[in-house]
Structure 1
Amino acid sequence: MFLLVVGGGLALLHIYIWKRLVRDTTSPGLVRRVAAVALILLVAFMIAAFVFGTQADPAVAQWFAWPGYLWLALFYYLMLATLVLEVPRLFLRKWAKSDEPIAGVSRRVFLARGTAAIAGAAAVGIVGYGTTVAMGGPSVTRVPITLRRLDPRASGFRIALISDVHLGPLLGRSFTQRVVDLVNEQRPDAVAIVGDLVDGSVEHLAEAAEPLRDLRSTHGTFFVTGNHEYYSGYTEWVDHVPTLGIRPLRNERVSITHHGGTFDLAGVNDATAYQWQDDADVGKALRGRDPARAVVLLAHQPVDVQDAVDHDVDLQLSGHTHGGQITPFELLVSLQQGAVAGLSQHGNTQLYVTRGAGFWGPPVRVGAPPDITVVELRAP
């Protein structure tokens, strides 16, 4: 039902785009037919990217993922620009009805072509810029966070926070290596991968994930599942990451002692895991812990913060949102997750959300550059 609703909505929106950008700007004939066929092909690529992008071998999937996902981004900004331009079209409606032509065409066609050209130029410019940002790779964001119960001896502990790499048809081994090199340059005390590492099976992406074996830190690398691990076959990835020297935290915790000071690092399954009978359980992860000791929780989705508050967690580290990835999509993300990026306070619990290292779908980031965050824990 969800796919039918989304598919129907996309079909209607594409009809609107065809009307405004093709039918209103051209006369019946070859140009209009070619434009219609091109639009149908782009939609077909987009559907193929959605349906088969995580199922096929990335070497094959990239051939329809690149055009399909780029069209999705262009379509998104064409929609926004065209809708905004409906306002001046409305005000110029009476002017466009005049019989006096402009540049050899009717005023109606002139107005339609002008707004189509503006919408097209805006969409191409924004997507072009966003592609260079997304493919340029993540930068490092450094964030000091004071924990009310942190043992002063553990103050200065640095966690490299990685999220939303989304290895798949568009991002492969070379991107993973860039992430690993960037993290190792920071010389962290621990590395936390908070989900959505992959979009595909171990069979297809084991080679792309291989550089993770070279992550270096004082206390090791930890991993929690994101929703995309469940779409990709979470059990095989949970079994595979330990072969890369990464420890999954599945509703469990570890105690970390640093320079004589100890705190707890806990991790929970993704918030959607209940659909695969693999629930997220903060209570189970924290059962029996010393309440005087600080606890840092790894949870893929920011929406888990209410459970963290209920269990007196000091800090939750999350990803999932991509910072919105393509503005103004962050407005919807905020409604669903409650937080988009950065540090926020929820009762006695602090929540930090990273924008993520990679991207999902379109290789485009606008208003939300990719990042890896180095969180430095500090005592009061």
Structure 2
Amino acid sequence: MRTNQAIIFFAIVFSIYGLINFYVIRKILSVIPDNYKNISLILLIFFALSYIAGRVLENYWVSYLSDFLIWCGSFWIAVMFYSFFFIIVIDLLRLINHFLPFFPDIPNKNLINVKNFIAISGAVLIFIIIAGGYLTTKIINVRHYEIFINKKAGNLNSLNIVMASDLHLGTINGQKFAYKIVDKINKLKPDLILFAGDIIDEDIKPVLKDNVGKALYELKAKYGIYGITGNHEYIGGVKEAVNYLNAHNIKMLQDTAILINNSFYIIGREDRSIDRFTGKKRKKLSELVNGIDKSLPIILMDHQPFHLEEAEENEIDLQLSGHTHNGQLWPLNYLLKKIYELPWGYKRKGNTHYYVSCGAGGWGPPVRLGSVPEIVNIKIHFVE
């Protein structure tokens, strides 16, 4: 990543993270008995810093310690997130009550009991939310779609595609997770397997240590297995990630268009992050389709689903994307609807079909609420 952009990017991220943690920790300490405040402060600061510490440590030494720190920090991110929302709601109610009193009068001697009750209730609610969200990550849905493309594809009448995005293979999603994904994909007997970015979480070292690529060798598809870069391949080191995936059964397409079986094209775009992390520019879609036979079906993979109109303008038949996780942690999915034209699911514009996956894995906390992990099975029928 270019130095100036790196400093600005991480300064913003760490500032927001630090301010939210300060607010949450301060509020938590206000309901902790004085005898336990010091030890509680130490533990809370440890959890707040553990994810960052674990990520830094794994760059130099992948070990049980780095894994422990990352797991602790990942769950803390979820705890922090929902604690922040819970506390905000309580503070807003207190503010409204200050101007428009609606709370019943409570004697001063009972105020401590009321505060403790609210704190304990909040802690129990957050625990239930996070436990449920963790169990949700273990459920990987297979979503089935049938679409029709009004083109002839050589001698093919149909094509069975299995698409997955955002596996985030690494410390949290290791070899066991990879085998689970591979097993589900192979059971669908795909003609073609496509991975729409963020296959690797961040640094490649945990993937090497856990030999995650061993599972990828077992993927089977008649017309091959292809992938593209996502922003996380760039965060962790794109060259190492791409080389690893190419060596483990996934052909990575980087601003490349290829003809498969003289029947259809696959285009794989570089992730938009290439500019921020390397200073290079990815090719325009119009450049990638230049010179190809548009009478044949064209399938595009583009990790981040911005500017969907580009695919329609360039006569793409099917665009596959990921990145959004559909928010991953409710209620972020509502915010995404303001950012993306299609934050999750299927859409058709003109002759172009779109699918944005919420992902099979996830970043940060192994928790999902309002967003279930998925693998997408799309059967294309070719008709003139």
TM over 0.5: yes
In structure 1, C-alpha distance between the alignment counterparts of 2:19 and 2:205, rounded to whole Å: 37
Correspondence for 2:167: 165
Query: TM-score scaled by structure 1?
Result: 0.88
Query: TM-score scaled by structure 2?
Result: 0.88
Deviations 1:38-79, CA, capped at 9 Å, x for gaps: 211111213324545566526442110111010100110111
Among candidates 229, 236, 242, match of residue 232 of structure 1: 236
1:1-80 equivalences under 5 Å are 1-23=8-30, 25-26=31-32, 29-49=34-54, 51-52=56-57, 56-57=61-62, 59-80=64-85
In structure 2, C-alpha distance between the alignment counterparts of 1:62 and 1:18, rounded to whole Å: 24
Deviations 1:130-185, CA, capped at 9 Å, x for gaps: 01111x15221111122233549534311110111111111211111111111111
Paired letter, 2:336: V
Matched, 1:321 2:324: yes
Stretch moving more, 247-256 or 66-75: 247-256
Q: Cα–Cα, structure 1 residues 74 and 251, in superposed 2: closer, same or farther, change >3 Å?
A: same
Once the two structures are TM-superposed, the CA of residue 218 in structure 1 deviates from its matched residue by 1.0
* Count of residue correspondences: 370
Among candidates 270, 273, 296, match of residue 293 of structure 1: 296
In structure 2, C-alpha distance between the alignment counterparts of 1:317 and 1:168, rounded to whole Å: 23
Once the two structures are TM-superposed, the CA of residue 128 in structure 1 deviates from its matched residue by 0.6
Correspondence for 1:175: 177
In structure 2, C-alpha distance between the alignment counterparts of 1:318 and 1:198, rounded to whole Å: 16
Q: Cα–Cα, structure 1 residues 340 and 284, in superposed 2: closer, same or farther, change >3 Å?
A: same
In structure 1, C-alpha distance between the alignment counterparts of 2:196 and 2:378, rounded to whole Å: 13
Once the two structures are TM-superposed, the CA of residue 197 in structure 1 deviates from its matched residue by 0.9
Contact persistence 1:154–1:262 (CA under 8 A): yes
Q: Cα–Cα, structure 1 residues 178 and 278, in superposed 2: closer, same or farther, change >3 Å?
A: farther
Q: SS of the counterpart of 1:378?
A: strand
Once the two structures are TM-superposed, the CA of residue 308 in structure 1 deviates from its matched residue by 1.6
Stretch moving more, 161-170 or 79-88: 79-88
Deviations 1:196-243, CA, capped at 9 Å, x for gaps: 111244454241122111110111101111111111221223223232
Once the two structures are TM-superposed, the CA of residue 344 in structure 1 deviates from its matched residue by 1.5
Q: SS of the counterpart of 2:113?
A: helix
Q: SS of the counterpart of 1:302?
A: coil
Gaps of 5+ in 2: 1-7
In structure 2, C-alpha distance between the alignment counterparts of 1:90 and 1:203, rounded to whole Å: 48
Correspondence for 1:122: 125
Gaps of 5+ in 1: none
In structure 1, C-alpha distance between the alignment counterparts of 2:253 and 2:323, rounded to whole Å: 17
Correspondence for 1:193: 195
Q: SS of the counterpart of 1:238?
A: helix
Paired letter, 1:214: E
Paired letter, 1:264: Y
Among candidates 64, 81, 87, match of residue 86 of structure 2: 81
Among candidates 299, 308, 313, match of residue 305 of structure 1: 308
Paired letter, 1:228: H
Q: Cα–Cα, structure 1 residues 96 and 319, in superposed 2: closer, same or farther, change >3 Å?
A: closer
In structure 2, C-alpha distance between the alignment counterparts of 1:157 and 1:143, rounded to whole Å: 12
- Percent identity over the alignment is 25
Once the two structures are TM-superposed, the CA of residue 293 in structure 1 deviates from its matched residue by 1.9
Q: What root-mean-square deviation, in Å, do the aligned CA atoms of Structure 1 and Structure 2 show? A: 2.5
Correspondence for 1:256: 260
Once the two structures are TM-superposed, the CA of residue 95 in structure 1 deviates from its matched residue by 7.6
Among candidates 343, 352, 358, match of residue 355 of structure 2: 352
